[in-house]
Chains A and B, each alone.
Chain A
Amino acid sequence: MSIPILRDETFIQEYEEAIKTPSQLADWQLFKQSYQIAETMKVPSFKDLVAPKFLPHLEFLPHQIKCAEKVIQHMNGKALLADEVGLGKTIEAGLILKEYMLRGLVQKVLILVPASLVNQWALELNQKFLIPTVTSGKRVDWQNTNILISTLDTAKSARHRQTILEQDYDFVIVDEAHKLKNHKTKNFHFVQQLSKKYCLLLTATPVQNKLTDIFNLISLLKPGYLGTYDDFIKQHREEKRKVDEDPYLKQLISKVMVRNRRADTGVHWTKREIETIWVPFTDQEMDTYHHVERFFKHNTAISAITYVREFCSSREACYLSIKKWVQQQDNVELPETNELLSSIEQLPHHAKALKLVELLKSSDEKFIVFTEYRATQIYLQWLLQQEKIPSVIYRGGFKKGKKDWMRQLFQHHAQVMIATEAAGEGINLQFCHRLINYDLPWNPMRLEQRIGRIHRFGQENDVKIYNFALKNTVDEHVMNLLYNKIHLFENVIGNLEQILSDLHLPNLEREVEQIFEESRSVGESKIKLNNLTSVIQSYQQADEAKENLL
């Protein structure tokens, strides 16, 4: 076996020069020290990780070390890290990056993360891994910065795109990589074009909708590994083969993907305890609820379900969107509309909101409250202020600094954080172990992301989750049929994503909405919803027996 050997010729030239200038010559002790450093710092074997030795202040979990070893030794530094939410994908990525840097294989690094995570990545890499990073601000120097954290949107924008594509990166990390699942998007093309030696894609949901999601992600890492897109479609769709009936595919995927589940990590996870809090509407509220429902049922062009849902959250949410709807109608304001609006206006505090106040007052613990609507968020903030309960709000649209500040305020001063859905990704709130789903998302994945904010590695207490649901409303159907029946709260979601994709149910939320829209009676919608969950349920049972793809 022949192998090129490169000699350090420049040293000889430098030596001949240096030897003429006594000031450049080292004394004996220093000469020895330099040799000792080399002996100490060398990477002695292809296999064992050296990074943990250099990070004595970090305690890695066994699955994190194993992940790093697997990626470096068997995957040659190109991998899909698909641990379930909260198992420390960032830690794994940091460890792998550090190891490559220590081995002298990586200098230039690009890390693409959602805007809400930029600061957190910088903080973790700096503090935990002692890796100095730069975040892409207004003035960003793509050429001369070694380790840069940016967002996909900034990077692919017309202003920066070309410059970035001209760089040769040693290492590229993309967090929340499910944004690359579609090979026809700009995101995908951009990442595909990046010049990269090593690459990590991080996502908790490698298969979000379709099996092609994972095909596309893997094709970014190792083009051709699963064949071409056409091959793949032919093989896995036309023949209608189920994923878990294809052990070959499963094995292939396992060579480029690390997926740890909570249950396999062997680490003690704190329990999650679920409590549903049933809240009755007052008679007046119930009347208005039906009023809204009737109003939009008559207006056949538009579905009532959106407004009814909003009404279950807060008067404000519903009121504002009805207003908006009215404005969009070109015709003059109808008396019926005004009547409806004024009946909403006259309502006292929302029953759920009052229940929330009651619950918060009965405890000294910190709570994070999730709502689907901004109007509800503002209303709750105002109400809590009236009740002298200190709270902060959190939205995805906040600037970086404001987010960090809100998180800190919550940790040190406030009892409650009221967050909208956008807060779902990214922030870690392990210091809090009470979560209230003030209203429920109709997509279970989003629910898991909410819970994942607090029920993750680092949480020391059992986590308690309260679900608010209004009796005799659409809330109740969704809670009973969608959530309770398929045990979504108890089971960490894991294989649900798989099931939904096998069932060709890419968007469960839309599915549920459609059921409500298309049903002519409550009974009909119940039956349909029941059918839907039965399918999922039977699939779940069958699934337990079989081994899973992922």
Chain B
Amino acid sequence: MITNLHNFLHQYFTIHDCEVLTENQTEMTIRLNRELDQVLMNRPFYWHYMDKIGRQGEPMSLYLDTSTENKDNNREWIHFGSPRLQQIFHHIKTNARFTILYEETDGDTKTALHPWLVTNIMVHYCGKQKKESVHSIGVQLINGVMKTDMMNHMDGLSMDRRMSDYSFTISPIIKPVSGFRRIFHYLENELLEEDMGWVKQSTDALNEEIQLLDYFFHQQEENKEILEKEQERLTERLQPRIEIEIINAGLFYLTEEASQLIIKD
């Protein structure tokens, strides 16, 4: 959960090597670099032109207000509904789908790193209404141990895209693709244990509406096309189903110690 939007944004800009020029509790001025300017400022022609004439171009600055109330202070108010935050979220989501990470180790003793497949998953329950749940599931690719709540378990770990000196990885015995299958399978079993009242409600609602529809049009040959279209859209809207969407996933190489802690947790 994002508990503090201000800190979240600060982190986002620092990850992307942008300088936070000034900052207090609720205000933040950021000098963008070219990469984020192109992502956020929506001025492709400017950059195209700069490239054409062989100039560097000047990235813009963002003046954000992260407080919960809109103020008249010439700053851009950023909150959970604002288009700017949607844009940033979208940028993160598309760029953080896959990873391979190694737990950092120090010292000069040889350390073995064990492979985990970690998936973050959003489950969409679609019927009369819709809801979503988020799951973080990992599978250890040597012995097949399955753990939920992985992101929380790993929260305190230091991870890097480069392996530390003296570390070495143990090759997976279970292939990542089968890891995904195991995770799907596990999750589906869990889902089938849940209360299915909503499925029945949706099915009932669908049947009821289709009956009414048939009755309304039963003598109207000329409106057959409308009837079919309505039936199709009703089914689309009310037919219950569950969609499993992977938010992101990656191969995580963890030390024996961390692995054991997670498994025991």
Q: Which residues of A contact B (CB under 8 A)?
A: 1, 3-8, 11-12, 14-16, 18-19, 22, 24-47, 53-57, 72-73, 76-77, 103-105, 130, 132, 168, 192-193, 195-198, 219, 222-225, 227-228
Main secondary structure of the interface of A (DSSP, over half): mixed
- Alpha-carbon distance A145/B233, docked complex (angstroms): 20
| Contact status of A33 and B130, CB under 8 A, knowing A11-B246, A219-B216 | no
Say if the beta carbon of B134 comes within 8 Å of chain A. yes
- Alpha-carbon distance A132/B226, docked complex (angstroms): 30
- Alpha-carbon distance A44/B134, docked complex (angstroms): 9
Inter-chain contact B99/A31, CB cutoff 8 Å: yes
| Contact status of A30 and B96, CB under 8 A, knowing A54-B80, A72-B129 | yes
Inter-chain contact B122/A38, CB cutoff 8 Å: yes
Q: Which residues of B contact A (CB under 8 A)?
A: 1-2, 8, 11-12, 15, 68-70, 77, 79-83, 89, 92-93, 95-101, 120, 122, 124-126, 128-134, 136, 151, 155, 158-161, 176-177, 180, 184, 188, 191, 196, 198-200, 205, 209, 211-219, 225-226, 229-230, 233, 236-238, 240-251
- Alpha-carbon distance A143/B5, docked complex (angstroms): 37
Inter-chain contact A168/B97, CB cutoff 8 Å: no
Inter-chain contact A6/B244, CB cutoff 8 Å: yes
Main secondary structure of the interface of B (DSSP, over half): mixed
Of all chain B residues, the one with the shortest Cβ separation from A132 is B83
Chain A residues positioned under 8 Å from B247 (CB to CB): 34-35, 38
- Alpha-carbon distance A258/B68, docked complex (angstroms): 32
Chain B residues positioned under 8 Å from A73 (CB to CB): 129
Of all chain A residues, the one with the shortest Cβ separation from B200 is A1
- Alpha-carbon distance A36/B99, docked complex (angstroms): 16
Inter-chain contact A224/B233, CB cutoff 8 Å: no
Inter-chain contact A29/B11, CB cutoff 8 Å: yes
Chain B residues positioned under 8 Å from A53 (CB to CB): 80-81
Inter-chain contact A37/B89, CB cutoff 8 Å: yes
Chain B residues positioned under 8 Å from A36 (CB to CB): 1-2, 8
- Alpha-carbon distance A261/B217, docked complex (angstroms): 34
Inter-chain contact A222/B92, CB cutoff 8 Å: no
CB<8 Å pairs between A and B, sample of 14? A6-B242, A8-B245, A11-B180, A18-B97, A18-B98, A33-B11, A33-B12, A34-B247, A35-B134, A36-B2, A45-B131, A53-B80, A227-B216, A228-B218
Chain A residues positioned under 8 Å from B69 (CB to CB): 56
Chain A residues positioned under 8 Å from B219 (CB to CB): 228
Chain B residues positioned under 8 Å from A192 (CB to CB): 226
Contact of B122 among A5, A22, A42, A103 (CB under 8 A): A42
B187 CB to nearest A CB, Å: 9
Inter-chain contact A130/B83, CB cutoff 8 Å: yes
| Contact status of A30 and B95, CB under 8 A, knowing A46-B131, A56-B69 | yes
